[in-house]
C-alpha cells in the first residue's frame, strides 16, 4: 500500500515548508565537535563528530547559490527526517547557518563504514549476501511505500556497523513518485547501477530503478565486481539489456533471485516486497544468523592492509 509523504505535484512546496519546520537556525559546531572527515562527495562532505557525548556523522552540504541545489539539500533533510526504519540511517538534526546559509545534517554514526569497504575486504557467502540484500530491500520497501525513489542505491550509500546492521543513507538524488513515473525525468545516478529504462528511456521510470541497483550490488557481492565491469558504462548497460547478466557459478538459488531483481523489463521486474516474500530467499537469509562476524573480519583485513602500507 502506497501512502505518499507529499501530495503529488506539490512536492517542492511541501518539502520547503517541512524543511523550514525541521531545520535549526544556528551554527552546528556550537553543539558538535568535529573529529575527522570521513568522505567527500559531489554534494557534500561527511565528518565524524561528537555531540552530547555521542559519535555522530555530520554532512556539510556544499555551498552554492543555485536554487536547484538548495532544493536537493532540503529534500534530503526532509526525507531523512521523515524516514524512521531500522534499515535507514537515523536522522539526528539539521542546521542552517545564519552567517552564510550553509546547511548541515547530523545522522547516526555507523562505525564500520560503508558496504563498499565490506565488499572490498571480505568475501561473503550467498547467505550473507542475501541478508545484506534483505536489509536494503526492507529499507526500499518502506521508502517506496511512502512515494520515495532513492535513485542512487550503491555500496557507498549503504552503511554498516559492527553489530551487523545495514542501513541506506544519502538521499541527495532522491525524488518522488507520482502515479506512473518519477516526479521529474532527470536522469542522474551512478554508472553501472542505473537501470536500462533509467539510462536509455525518455518515458520516465519508477521504483524499479532502485530494485535494479540492488541486483547489481548483489551480483557484485557474489562475484567481486559489477557485471561487464571491463566494458564502458553505456555498453555494459546495453549488454545487460540485450544479453542479460553473466551467470553466477554455484549459486543456483541466487541465480533465480538475481533474475527477478535484474529483469530488463521494468514492468515485470520484482518489487522489494515480492523478493522479501519469496520462500527461497527467506530460507537463504535464515542460513546467516548475523553479519557481524563478516564485518569484523573485513575491518581486521582493512587494518592489516593499512599497517602493511605504512
- Considering only residues 250 and 285, tell me which one the structure prediction assigns the higher pLDDT: 285
Superfamily in which the 115-300 domain is placed by CATH:
Transferase(Phosphotransferase) domain 1 (1.10.510.10)
Percent of the chain with pLDDT strictly greater than 90: 65
In this model, does residue 91 exceed pLDDT 80?
yes
- Class level of CATH domain 11-108: alpha beta
Domain boundaries, the chain: 11-108, 115-300
Q: Is 117 labeled as catalytic in the residue annotation?
A: no
* pLDDT single digits (tens) 221-263: 999 999 999 998 888 888 888 888 887 766 677 889 999 999 9
Average pLDDT in the chain: 89
φ/ψ of residue 74, rounded to 5: -60, -45
- Please enumerate in sequence order all residues whose Cβ is within 8 A of that of 195, keeping only pairs 6 or more positions apart, or say none: 205, 208, 209, 212, 213, 266
Instruction: Tell me the per-residue pLDDT of 24-47, one tens digit each, with 9 for 90 and over.
Output: 999 999 999 999 999 887 778 999
Grid coordinates given for 284? 537463504
> Which residue in the list 117, 123, 152, 289 is annotated as catalytic?
152
Q: How far is CA 213 from CA 42, 156, 190, 237, in A?
A: 19, 12, 10, 12
Amino acid at each position: 500500500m502506497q501512502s505518499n509523504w507529499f501530495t503529488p505535484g506539490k512536492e517542492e512546496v511541501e518539502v520547503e515548508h517541512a524543511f523550514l519546520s525541521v531545520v535549526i537556525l544556528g551554527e552546528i559546531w556550537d553543539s558538535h565537535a568535529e573529529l575527522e572527515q570521513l568522505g567527500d562527495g559531489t554534494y557534500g562532505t561527511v565528518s565524524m563528530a561528537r555531540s552530547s557525548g555521542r559519535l555522530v556523522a555530520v554532512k556539510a552540504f556544499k555551498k552554492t547559490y543555485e536554487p536547484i541545489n538548495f532544493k536537493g539539500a532540503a529534500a534530503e533533510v526532509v526525507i531523512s527526517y521523515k524516514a524512521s526504519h531500522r534499515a535507514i540511517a537515523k536522522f539526528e538534526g539539521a542546521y542552517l547557518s545564519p552567517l552564510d546559509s550553509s546547511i548541515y545534517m547530523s545522522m547516526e554514526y555507523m562505525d564500520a563504514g560503508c558496504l563498499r569497504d565490506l565488499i572490498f575486504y571480505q568475501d561473503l557467502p550467498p547467505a550473507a549476501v542475501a541478508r545484506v540484500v534483505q536489509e536494503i530491500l526492507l529499507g526500499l520497501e518502506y521508502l517506496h511505500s511512502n512515494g520515495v525513489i532513492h535513485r542512487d542505491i550503491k555500496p557507498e550509500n549503504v552503511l554498516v556497523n559492527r553489530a551487523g546492521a545495514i542501513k541506506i543513507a544519502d538521499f541527495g538524488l532522491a525524488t518522488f513518485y507520482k502515479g506512473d513515473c518519477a516526479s521529474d525525468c532527470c536522469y542522474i545516478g551512478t554508472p553501472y547501477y542505473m537501470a536500462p529504462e533509467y539510462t536509455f528511456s525518455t518515458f520516465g521510470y519508477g521504483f524499479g530503478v532502485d530494485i535494479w541497483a540492488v541486483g547489481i550490488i548483489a551480483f557484485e557481492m557474489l562475484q567481486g565486481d559489477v557485471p561487464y565491469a571491463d566494458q564502458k558504462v553505456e555498453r555494459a548497460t546495453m549488454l545487460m539489456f540485450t544479453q542479460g547478466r553473466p551467470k553466477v557459478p554455484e549459486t543456483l538459488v541466487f541465480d533465480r533471485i538475481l533474475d527477478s531483481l535484474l529483469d530488463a523489463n521494468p514492468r515485470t521486474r520484482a518489487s522489494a516486497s515480492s523478493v522479501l516474500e519469496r520462500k527461497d530467499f527467506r530460507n537463504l537469509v535464515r542460513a546467516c544468523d548475523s553479519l557481524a562476524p563478516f564485518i569484523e573480519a573485513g575491518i581486521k583485513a582493512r587494518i592489516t592492509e593499512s599497517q602493511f602500507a605504512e
